[in-house]
Structures are given as C-alpha cells and as structure tokens.
C-alpha cells in the first residue's frame, strides 16, 4: 500500500506534464511529420511499487529516431547520393510545394543530387531536455505541499485509529 498518495499523484502528473511539454516542443519546432514520434512517447505509472519498494513513473520514447530529432544527425559531407524514395515521402508528409514544371520524383532527385554534391548540415530540433527541466521545476514547486498533505492525512489516520484516543474522547 502506498503511504504517500499526494506525492504519488504529483509524480504521475509530472510524467504527463513532461510528455505534454515534449509534444508542445515538437510542434513548436515543426518536427511533426507523421505523428509517430508523438505517439511513441509513453508514460507508465504503475500502481504497485517495484522490487525496491519504490513507485516510479517511467517516461519512454519508443521511436528509434527520437535522439536524431533531439540532437540532430551528424552532418553528411559531399559524396554518395542519398536514396530518392525517403525524400519523396518527406516532401509528401511535409506538404512541400514542388516547383512548377517538376514532378515529385524529379524534385526529389534534384534534392538528392544537391545533397550528394554539397552535403547536409547538422540540424537539431531539441524537445527532450527542456521538457524534463520544466517537469522537474513543476515537481519541486509542488512537492512540499504534497508531502505536507500526505503527512497530515497519515497522522489523521493514525490518530483516528488509535484505541487510546477513542477511550479519551
């Protein structure tokens, strides 16, 4: 049984706050193409303690490319031409307008040729660290109040269930 109900609620709420802030950051960064990255952010708050007796809220980002979005990919120098199909998909997902007189395939080929000739710079769209920091600050601001409520609630329960106090009353 969890003796710190308010603190547990705060912990679960903080996990959801961090997830919400990550999603907000991704949208503000214009990093949402398919929504798969957003859907891969999962908060798990079990009701029962783990083997060490701790209740933990786990926030997991299941998309394999989350770190690439957050920290950026290593710059690609000039060299081999990248595959065209992922570029076509990217153009479609992002609703990028294709120049007049070109098909999506031709435009994708032109982009691939330019990447092969000039390379690709590193571009990061950070969304994780600022969300975690925001969540930590949220938790810290409310933790003392939650602990105070838990202690008051536990004290009341103990006092109300004491056989000695019942006799005194």
Residue 148 has pLDDT above 90, yes or no: no
pLDDT band at 167 (very low <50, low <70, confident <90, very high): very low
Is the whole model's pTM more than 0.75, yes or no? no
Rounded-to-integer distance, Cα 10 and Cα 139, Å: 7
pLDDT at residue 161 in the model: 56
Residue 146 structure tokens? 């939650």
Nearest CA to 127 out of 22, 7, 15 is that of 22
Which of 19-23, 67-71, 118-122, 145-149: highest mean pLDDT? Answer: 19-23
At 51-102, the pLDDT tens digits run 776 778 889 999 988 998 999 877 777 888 888 998 998 899 888 999 999 9
């Amino acid at each position: 049984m969890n003796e710190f109900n308010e603190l547990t609620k705060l912990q679960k709420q903080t996990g959801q706050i961090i997830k919400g802030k990550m999603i907000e950051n991704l949208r503000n960064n214009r990093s949402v193409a398919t929504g798969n990255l957003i859907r891969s952010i999962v908060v798990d708050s079990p009701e029962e303690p783990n083997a060490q007796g701790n209740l933990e809220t786990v926030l997991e980002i299941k998309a394999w490319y989350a770190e690439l979005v957050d920290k950026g990919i290593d710059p690609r120098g000039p060299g081999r031409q990248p595959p065209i199909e992922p570029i076509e998909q990217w153009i479609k997902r992002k609703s990028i307008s294709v120049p007049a007189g070109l098909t999506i395939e031709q435009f994708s080929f032109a982009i691939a040729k330019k990447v092969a000739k000039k390379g690709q710079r590193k571009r990061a769209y950070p969304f994780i660290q600022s969300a975690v920091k925001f969540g930590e600050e949220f938790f810290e601001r409310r933790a003392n109040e939650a602990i105070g409520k838990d202690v008051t609630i536990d004290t009341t329960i103990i006092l109300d269930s004491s056989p000695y106090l019942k006799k005194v009353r």
